[in-house]
Chain A
C-alpha cells in the first residue's frame, strides 16, 4: 500500500494550477473583449468578496469547534470503559455517515433564532447555525483522525519513554503527541478543505455566503453572460482557496512518508 501511495504522490503535477490560470485568463480576456460585462462584474465583486469572507469565517469556526470536540471524542473512543466509549462510538458512527446538507438543515431548523442566556436575549443567526451544522460532522471525522493517530503510535514507545525516565505526562507531551500531530495534520487539512466546500451548502438555508451572493447578483442583473461569469467566478474562488490547501497537504504527506 505504501508503495502505491508513494508512486501516486510522485506523479502529481500542478495541472490544476495551470487549469485555473487558463480558466482565469479566459474569463479576464472575455471581460476585456466585453467591457460592459466586465464593468458589471467589477461592481458586484465587493459584494461577492463579502460573501466569500463569510465562507472562510464559517469554515474556520466550524473546524476549530470540530477539532476541540473531535479530540475529546477520539480520546473517549479509546477509553478502557465501555460507558465512556459507547456514546462516542455511536456519535461518530451516526454523524460521519450523515450528509452535511442534512446536518445544516437540522441545525437551522432545530435551534431557535435567539437564545436566552441569564435573562438576556442573544440572537442566534443562521450563519452560526451553519457553523454548528458543519462542526458536527467535522468533530466526528476528527474523532476518527485522533483515534487513528493515537493508535498508530506503538505502545512500546510509552515503555521506552518510561525507561528513559520520562513521567507519563512528559512522554505524552514530548514523545507521543508530537508524532500524533504530525500524522494527523494531512487528514485534518483534507477535512478542512472539505468543510470549506461544505460552507456553500449554507446558501440553501439563507446564509449570505458566496453562492448566495452570486445568486443575488445574477437575479439582479438578469444577463445571460453575467450569470455565466458570476458562477464561474464562484467556482474559481473556491478553487483558488482549496487547491493550495490540497497541494500543501500532498506536500506534507510526501515529506512525512519519506521519513
Chain B
C-alpha cells in the first residue's frame, strides 16, 4: 500500500507529461483534411505527405531553422557552461573582496525572469548594431545566473580544498589547477548545466522573436510561429506546424537519452560528496 501510492502518483505524472506528446505524434500523421475530422487519437494517413510538404515549404526553410536552433542551443549552451563553470569555481574556491556581493547579485539575477530583459536587451543590441545577428541571440544566453549558482554549489561540494592545496604545493599554476583538477571533478555538474541551458535555448521564443528580423536567422520556435500566425486572411498551416513541432522535440529526447548516465552520476555524486 505504501508503495502503491507513490507509484500511482508517478504514473499519473508520466501520463500527464506523455499524453500531449503522444497527441502531437498522432496528429502529425493526419493530412489537412483528416486533422479536424478524425478522432483525437485516431492515426491518419498523411505523415509522409506532411513531411514532404514541410521539407518543400519555402525551399526547405524548416531545415535552415533547425540548423539555426542547433547553433543557438548547442553553441549557447557550450559557452554558457564554460562561463558558469569558471565563474562557479572561482566563487567557490577563492576568497576575495566582494565575493558575497557578487554571489548575492547572482541570486537576485536568478529571480529576474529573462523575459523581462528581452526588450531592454534588444534596445541595447540595436544601439551597438548587433540586433538581427546571430550574436544577438547567442550573447544574452551565455551569462546565466542559475548556471553559475549551480556551478558554485557543485564546485564547493565536489572539489576538495585539500586537492587544490596539494596541487599548489606541487607548483601548479591557478589555470592549470582549474583545468587539471577543478573541471574534471565538475563534469557531472557541467553536464547538468549544459542540458538545462540547451533545453532553455531550444525552447526560447521571446528573445529571438524580438531580436531577429531576418527570417533566415530564425530558430524553430519563431519560424513555426510564422506558420501559425500567417495573417488574419490566411489559414494557419496546422499540419505543417504540428509535424514541425514533432520533429523539433526529437533532438531534445535524443539528447536526454544519451546524457542520462551523466545526469545519474551527478545526482548520486552530489549526494555522497554533499
Chain B binds chain A: no
